[in-house]
Amino acid sequence: MMGGAAKIIAKGRELHAAGQYRHAQEILNKLVYAEPGNQEAKDLLADVWEQIGYQQESPSVRNSFLAGAYELRSGVPTGASPKASGPDMIRGMSTDLWLDFLGVRLDAEKAAGVNFVINFVTPDNGEQYVVELSNSALTNIKGVQAARPDLTITMDRADLETVMMGKATFDQQIDAGKATLAGDRKPYEQLKGMLSQFSLAWEILPGTIPVKDGGTAPNAFQQVPPARTDGG
Residue-range domains of the chain with CATH: 5-74 (1.25.40.880), 87-194 (3.30.1050.10)
92 — phi, psi (to 5°)? -80, -10
Q: Is the pLDDT of residue 15 over 70?
A: yes
Distances 20 to 14, 24, 130, 209, 225 between C-alpha atoms, Å: 9, 6, 56, 29, 44
Q: Is the pLDDT of residue 229 over 60?
A: no
The mean pLDDT value for 45-58 works out to: 96
Distances 158 to 79, 128, 144, 167 between C-alpha atoms, Å: 33, 15, 21, 12
pLDDT band at 82 (very low <50, low <70, confident <90, very high): low
The mean pLDDT value for 177-188 works out to: 96
Q: Is the pLDDT of residue 226 over 60?
A: no
- Say how far apart CA 15 and CA 48 lie, in whole Å: 9
Contacts of 206 (CB under 8 A, 6+ apart): 32, 33, 36
- Say how far apart CA 187 and CA 122 lie, in whole Å: 18
Q: What is the pTM of this model?
A: 0.63
Tens of pLDDT, residue by residue over 120-161, are: 999 999 999 999 999 999 999 999 999 999 999 999 999 999
Q: Is the pLDDT of residue 221 over 70?
A: yes
Pairing between β-strand 116-122 and β-strand 151-155 as defined by DSSP bridges: parallel
- Say how far apart CA 192 and CA 66 lie, in whole Å: 38
Output the pLDDT for position 45.
97
- Choose between 90 and 95: higher pLDDT: 95
